[in-house]
Amino acid sequence: MKKKFLHLTYSVACLCMMLLASLEGAAQQEVSVRTAISQALERNLQVRQAQFQQALSEQDLRQARMNLYPTLNAGINGGFNWGLTFDQTAGRLVTQSVSSAGGRVNSNADLFTGFQRLNQIRANRYQLMADESNVDRVRNDLVLSVVTTYLEALTNQGLLEASQQQLSLSQRQLEAAEANYEVGNNTLADLSQAKNQVATDELNVTTAQNAFELSMLNLKQLMEMDPSVEITLENPALPDVNAVESNYLANEIYRQAVSTFPDIRQAQMLSQVAKQNISIARGALYPTLSLNGGIGTNFSSQAVDFFGPFGEQLRNNRSESLGLTLSIPIFNNLRTRITLAKAKIGYENALASEQLAKNNLNKIINQAVLDLRSAEQRYHSTEAAFTSAKDAFEVINQRYEVGLANSVELFTAQTTMNRAEFDHIQARYDLLFRSKVIDFYLGNEIDFED
């Protein structure tokens, strides 16, 4: 019995360990740029809100179209009265209890309303198109934010790895300095300098670690992911930096973007909505004509002797009506005129907003082209600086090993090399990102697998 119990305990322990191992492996999921974008678009609350607003506009357009149809309503009533009352069906005062019933069907159709309803349909259609463009705008902004944050995280990850490598180098140099100090080949100043370099590199590692964790947190928030979930970034097959296209003309990019960019299309559609609001307001100046009709019948227990029983009364008491109603606006405290004036002002404001959106897009594209050229120049400059600093450090390190250079010269060269490497890493990712921003405004999908 004891052996069976021990065997069972061992089996359960093994099962738990396997389960924990599988959970730990599952928790470390690798996220690519494409996965991050897809998950953010699927879960982001701002995208959902934009989609909800689009759905509301679809219902508004549906309602505007249905308003062209006549209305039809029906009603049934019944009652029981005591004491003195006037029986409408019998046509006299009665003092006995009376039971009554009735029903009526009414319909109303607007024949002319100054074309307000047709213009309302057009306005709602343009509003729906504006909201559809808004969904595209929110999605585009989100994609750009995800790519920016992803590349920032990759940059910080590269800086962290470089900092850790530099720390390892400094620690090895400290070990060599301690050994040389013990045999009298190095002074106390040399040893202190080596310890100071290790402390500096440890601080650099801590700073890079914090920056990397913050960028990962920002990426998880964009993806609507639980911050406690551990993820790793997939290093995409980045294109050759030297092959990045940078000879773009801002005016050509703008001409291509202005016809398709969702921000501009949204502003254009809102201008059309404002224009239709003028027509809607002007329609209130015209008379309205409507057709209405109805059919109904009644029953009263006091009218049985005159009109027959229930079924016969319903047939004999039937009443029908048909009429036209013409409403002519004369004076309503200038509400219609003021509404029309406000609609015209709203249209002018919408046109200004549309032009402002175009101006902003033109400015952003020009800035993006300048940023790309600047990033390209910075990349080549940092590449040359890093190569030079690395060669200088290797020379100083060789001279230091044979006693021809002191520790100050060595660690100064190492610090210069570290800074040059960090600048080069940042410049590389910045150049790639700036090139993808141009693709974004050209309407191309942001991808790093080309």
Predicted confidence (pLDDT) per residue in 343-386, tens digit? 999 999 999 999 999 999 999 999 999 999 998 899 999 999 99
In a domain, 361, yes or no: yes
> How many domains does the structure of the chain reveal?
2
> Does the residue 446 lie in any domain?
no
Q: What is the mean pLDDT of residues 132-144?
A: 93
Q: Does one domain contain both 414 and 345?
A: yes
Residues 313 and 403 in one domain: no
* Residue 192 counted as domain residue: no
- 144 and 238 assigned to the same domain: yes
Together in a domain, 307 and 424:
no
Across 152-161, 186-195, 238-247, the highest mean pLDDT is recorded for 152-161
Same domain as 388, residue 246 = yes
So what's the pLDDT on residue 26?
Answer: 47
Residues 370 and 404 both lie in one domain: yes
Per the rule left: phi > 0, alpha: psi between -120 and 50, beta: everything else, 83 is: left
Which band of pLDDT confidence, cut at 50, 70 and 90, is reported for residue 174? Answer: confident
CATH number of the domain enclosing 220: 1.20.1600.10
Provide the domain limits for residue 317.
81-108+298-328
Question: Do residues 339 and 398 both lie within one domain?
Answer: yes
In a domain, 239, yes or no: yes
Q: What is the pLDDT of residues 60-70, one digit of tens each?
A: 999 999 999 99
Q: Are residues 324 and 420 in the same domain?
A: no
Residues 263, 122, single domain; the answer is yes
pLDDT tens for 14-55 read: 444 444 444 444 456 888 888 999 999 999 999 999 999 999
Residue 158 lies in a domain: no
Over the chain, what HEC string results? CHHHHHHHHHHHHHHHHHHHHHHHHHHCEEECHHHHHHHHHHHCHHHHHHHHHHHHHHHHHHHHHHCCCCEEEEEEEEEEECCCEEECCCCEEECCCEEEEEEEEEEEEEEECCCHHHHHHHHHHHHHHHHHHHHHHHHHHHHHHHHHHHHHHHHHHHHHHHHHHHHHHHHHHHHHHHHHHHCCCCCHHHHHHHHHHHHHHHHHHHHHHHHHHHHHHHHHHHCCCCCCCCEEECCCCCCCHHHCCCCCCHHHHHHHHHCCCHHHHHHHHHHHHHHHHHHHHHHCCCCEEEEEEEEEEEEEHHHHHHHCCHHHHHHHCCEEEEEEEEECCCCCCCHHHHHHHHHHHHHHHHHHHHHHHHHHHHHHHHHHHHHHHHHHHHHHHHHHHHHHHHHHHHHHHHHHHCCCCCHHHHHHHHHHHHHHHHHHHHHHHHHHHHHHHHHHHCCCCCCCCC
Do 304 and 224 have their domain in common? no
Other CB atoms within 10 Å distance of the CB of residue 150: 28
* More confidently predicted of 404 and 20: 404
pLDDT for residue 17: 44
Looking at residue 21, its pLDDT comes to 43
* Confidence (pLDDT) at 24: 45
Structural contact between residues 128 and 270, judged by C-beta atoms closer than 8 angstroms:
no
Tens of pLDDT along 230-286?
Answer: 999 887 766 667 667 777 889 999 999 998 899 999 999 999 999 999 999 999 999
Residue at 304 is within a domain: yes
For the chain, what percent of residues have pLDDT higher than 70? 86
More confident residue, 132 or 430: 132
Q: Are residue 423 and residue 392 in the same domain, yes or no?
A: yes
> What tokens does 142 get?
């989100």
Average pLDDT value for the chain: 85
Q: pLDDT exceeding 90 applies to what percent of the chain?
A: 49
Residue 432 falls within a domain, yes or no? yes
Task: Tell me: do 47 and 149 sit in the same domain.
Answer: yes
pLDDT recorded at residue 306 = 62
Is 15 part of a structural domain of the chain?
A: no
Torsion (CA) 11, 13, 18, 23 in degrees, nearest 10: 140
- Taken in order 172, 173, 174, 175, the sign of the CA dihedral is positive
